[in-house]
Amino acid sequence: MIRGIRGATTVKQDSEDEVVKATEHLLREIVERNQLQPEDVSHIWFTLTEDLVSAFPAKATRRLTGWDFVPVMCAQEIPVPNSLARCIRIMVTAETSLKQIEVEHVYHNEAVQLRPDLQLTKKDSSR
């Protein structure tokens, strides 16, 4: 079955190092929790809020061994008034045997407030 696996994190400031490191940390946890292999991943979408312009978060994918050929794309989030600032979101589309309820979406830092309903049944991923 093809599933979408979501994740999000926030950074304290807009710097290339912070954006890429936070994205890498989030992506590694999504991969680990959902037992993903690169050959099972169709593609990954990354979005950033308009206040993050220092780096492409997709660059973090290339830090994972064996993920060189996974297609990645970055885009800017819709600038909704009063939305969460300095936020990076990820959507991994992958083939998996996990049932939809078994998929572990991962939210770090201030992004845990985006889906508090998921935090009730999943391990605490705020760091």
Per-residue pLDDT reduced to its tens digit, 99-122: 998 999 999 998 888 887 765 445
Q: What is the mean pLDDT of residues 9-17?
A: 96
pTM of the full predicted structure? 0.89
pLDDT in tens, 56-92: 999 999 999 999 999 999 999 999 999 999 999 999 9
Domains of the chain: 2-119 (3.30.1330.40)
User: Is the confidence at residue 126, as pLDDT, over 50?
Assistant: no
Whether residue 52 contacts residue 86, with contact meaning beta carbons closer than 8 Å, is answered with yes
pLDDT value for 4:
96
Which residue has 């950074």 as its token pair? 11
Catalogue the active-site residues: 6, 62, 74, 77, 89, 107, 115
Strands (E), the chain: 2-10, 41-48, 72-76, 87-95, 106-107
Q: What's the gap between Cα 12 and its chain centre? A: 16
